[in-house]
Amino acid sequence: MLYDISQTLRPDLPVWPGDTAFTLNRTWAMGPGIPVNVSALTLSTHSGSHADAPFHYDGDGKTIDAVDANVYLGPAQIVDARGASGFVTVERIMPQLHMNVSRVLIRTYQTAPQQIWDDDFAAIDPLLIEALADRGVKLIGVDTPSLDPQSSKKMSAHLAVARRGLAILEGLVLDAVPFGVYELIALPLKIAGADSSPVRAMLRSL
């Protein structure tokens, strides 16, 4: 079984307030003398489902073309934080973890809001990131736009990730996937100098 846990990139895709909206413009359209369709994209590097590069939250961090792609491919566990408000905590997540899990995807929504922007999404407690790293987790994924609250200026969760060397996936859609362990396939594009990249995130039953 294969599950698509990506958002669809489209003109009405909700984006972080003030960020770049997605547009697709036809550069060439099939017709007399034109045998192909070719399009130009305008979008934020954080559009929809995306992988944050360390450079997003660390001025000396790696850009997305330099990250280890292997971390975005391999076994991952979906855990339940539905209904969480404020912060997703250690107490909520750690008892659910299977042994030797190295990638954790956190579902906070019953139904992820793909049509409207939710400015009150649940954030990740930095202490949870520390606990996950202590357990050998190397990637954290969320169905929210960010690990930190929208109003955060300290970026505490992202900085905890930077200290511990985890990878980040944000904006996933986990609504239709039963809780459990899957193979994650969510490779970022190799964009020179970029702080993030959209991903086509998939889960395959093991």
pLDDT in tens, 94-146: 999 999 999 999 999 999 999 999 999 999 999 999 999 999 999 999 999 99
Is 125 annotated in a binding site? The answer is no
C-alpha closest to that of 124 among 170, 57, 163? 170
- Residues 17 and 192: their CA atoms lie apart, in Å, by 25
Q: Which CATH architecture has domain 2-205?
A: 3-Layer(bba) Sandwich (3.50)
- Angle between the N-to-C axes of helices 126-134 and 156-164, in degrees from 0 to 180, rounded to the nearest 10: 20
- The alpha carbon of residue 198 and the mean position of all alpha carbons in its chain are separated, in whole angstroms, by 8
Q: Are 49 and 171 within 8 A, CB to CB?
A: yes
- Could you state, in order of their start, the residue ranges of all structural domains in the chain? 2-205
Task: Tell me the catalytic residues.
Answer: 56
pTM, rounded to two decimals = 0.97
Q: Is 98 annotated as a binding residue?
A: no
For residue 78, what are the β-bridge partners? 105, 180
Opening angle at CA 190, ends 176 and 56, nearest 5: 80
